[in-house]
Amino acid sequence: MDFLTLLLFVIGFLSSFVVGGNNSATSLGILISTNSLRRRYSYLVSSLSIFFGVAIGSISMESSIYGTVNGPSPYLDAAVLFVFVASVISFYYLNKTGIPSSLSQMIYPSLAVIVLLSKGLEFDWTKFWFTFTSWLVSPLLAILCSILLYFGLAKLATRQKKIIKEMKIYKALIISSAVFTSFVTGANAIGIIVSEGLLAEPAYVTLPLYAFSAALGIYFSSRKASIVVGFRLTRMGYLSATSALLGSDIISEVFTLLGVPISITQTVMGGILGLSFRSYGPDVKNQLKQVARGWLTSPFIAVISSLAAFGVLKSILNI
């Protein structure tokens, strides 16, 4: 393994840590804020779910980078490396400032621009445009799915005459939605990072190590975000929150099985917005503004920073 390939693998490992911690705030937060599980068990369940999501569920995402972008090894490795560095840094800071961002919405446009401006690199444009369409469609499908689930689960819960049984149903729904959310996050959001790691190492090395890194991210970098997100979700009510998560997770898993790197964050936001529309108010307006800001800012920031970093690398390595 040469130095460039080693850097590619290490960046993927660190990216799994960052994205695992950030994107698991939703599933971990709802467990903590509702006291469905004790805090230590909430972390354990979320980390195990994302671990298996990466180790098993991300197999369908192997070609999202590896095989989608092709070219001579040093040139290809350099392009992917600095696209990921720029995208993950942009992703981290945008989410920290309250702008919901998608890693795939940063990576794909950045790679596309670099391929257009470079010689020797090839891009699967059919995959690009299909993925681009999924970014538009997935939040809308999540809205519809979440609303249908809400009415179905509401009927199930109201059939229980005893309050204790009804609360048990709510608890089971909360735990299952949190587990499913973490699993899908590992499969899709970390799945695209796994595909990057396959440029450096085979699957039997990349999958378990990146899964371990994502699980560590939950323990060490998701605490503050999970508390904030968790209490925002529970303000919707237990049934609405679980319907929003399960509805968006179903849509995310469908696209994951198709090997399409969608925006997990914005798909979840779609599910939340779908149920929030029942009582349209300032909160819904703010969420819509946040989604719009993410759509407008994240790809452009990632493209500009990726081009700058890649240009510097080309001049240094003379490639």
Q: What is the pLDDT of residue 313?
A: 60
Q: What is the pLDDT of residue 16?
A: 94
Q: What is the pLDDT of residue 186?
A: 93
Q: What is the pLDDT of residue 250?
A: 92
Percent of the chain with pLDDT over 90: 22
Average pLDDT over residues 2-27: 86
With beta carbons less than 8 A apart as the criterion, state whether 12 and 214 touch: no
> Is residue 297 scored above 50 in pLDDT?
yes
Average pLDDT over residues 129-157: 85
Average pLDDT over residues 221-250: 68
Pick 182 or 273 by higher pLDDT: 182
Two tokens at 121? 């690199």
pLDDT confidence band for 188 (50 / 70 / 90): very high
The closest alpha carbon to 122, from 84, 161, 159, 76, belongs to 76
pLDDT confidence band for 246 (50 / 70 / 90): confident
Pick 260 or 287 by higher pLDDT: 260
C-beta atoms surrounding 47 within 10 Å: 24
> Is residue 228 scored above 90 in pLDDT?
no
Percent of the chain with pLDDT over 70: 76
| Least confidently predicted of 163-177, 212-226, 251-265, 285-299 | 285-299
pLDDT in tens, 22-68: 888 777 777 777 777 888 888 899 999 999 999 999 999 998 998 88
The Cα-based distances of 102 to 76, 78, 111, 271 in angstroms read: 23, 22, 15, 16
Two tokens at 34? 């509702």
| Least confidently predicted of 62-66, 204-208, 266-270 | 266-270
Q: What is the pLDDT of residue 205?
A: 93
Pick 227 or 30 by higher pLDDT: 30
Residue 319 CB-density burial (10 A; 0-12 exposed, 13-18 middle, 19+ buried): middle
> Is residue 109 scored above 80 in pLDDT?
yes
With beta carbons less than 8 A apart as the criterion, state whether 256 and 191 touch: yes
Average pLDDT over residues 126-135: 89
Side chain identity at residue 166, one-letter code: E
| Least confidently predicted of 9-13, 96-100, 252-256 | 96-100
Q: What is the pLDDT of residue 280?
A: 47
Domain ranges in the chain are 3-317
The pTM score is 0.85
With beta carbons less than 8 A apart as the criterion, state whether 185 and 23 touch: yes
Average pLDDT over residues 292-318: 64
Alpha helix stretches (DSSP H) within the chain = 3-23, 25-34, 39-55, 73-96, 103-117, 125-158, 163-184, 191-197, 203-221, 223-234, 238-257, 264-276, 282-317
